[in-house]
Amino acid sequence: MSSPGSHIPLKTEHEFKDFLYWNFITLVLLFPAALAISMRSTGWLLVYISLVFFHFYVLEQRFFCTHCPYYARAGKCVRCMMNWGCPKYFKPRPCPPSTFDLAITILGFIIVILFPLPWLLKEPFLLGAYFVSIALFLLTVWRYECGRCIYFGCPFNRVPAELRAEFEEKGGTGSKAS
């Protein structure tokens, strides 16, 4: 347990091992959905895979990631825990995401999460595994990343205000929430 006044340092850089870890966790989440769909239809599986890629590599990058300080770093490719090596298709926007940006991102997540439900409902074990993996993913991100992330404009950021201010005073690049 940390003592009063101590804190976990902010994560100013991601490493390739972070990307491997978080993408493995994401695959654990997507596997039950893909398996349930593939048991009934290869065509719908291809639609689901396309939907997932479109959401994460187009919609999310454009409406959410472009506001992130990790995205704004120099280079032609993203170096973050989820999109390591992905080309930057959009120019960085160093301001907090707008309500519209967040709505598009959240709507995309909802569609990706709900899309496989008709197939998962026919496979109760996979449905249970899917919901447990979603819960574990969200809890793990919240516990290990959100409390030390420099993307201060993210609605899930849990970095204390004092630590944000200290980071920004030292010339940090976290985008402030409005």
Mean pLDDT computed over 125-132: 98
Amino acid 170: pLDDT: 84
**Beta carbons within 10 angstroms of residue 118's beta carbon:** 12
Mean pLDDT computed over 112-127: 98
Is the pLDDT score of 175 beyond 60? no
Amino acid 6: pLDDT: 53
What is the spatial distance between Cα 33 and Cα 27, in angstroms, rounded to a whole number? Answer: 10
- What is the secondary structure of 100-131 as a DSSP string? HHHHHHHHHHHHHHHTTHHHHTT-HHHHHHHH
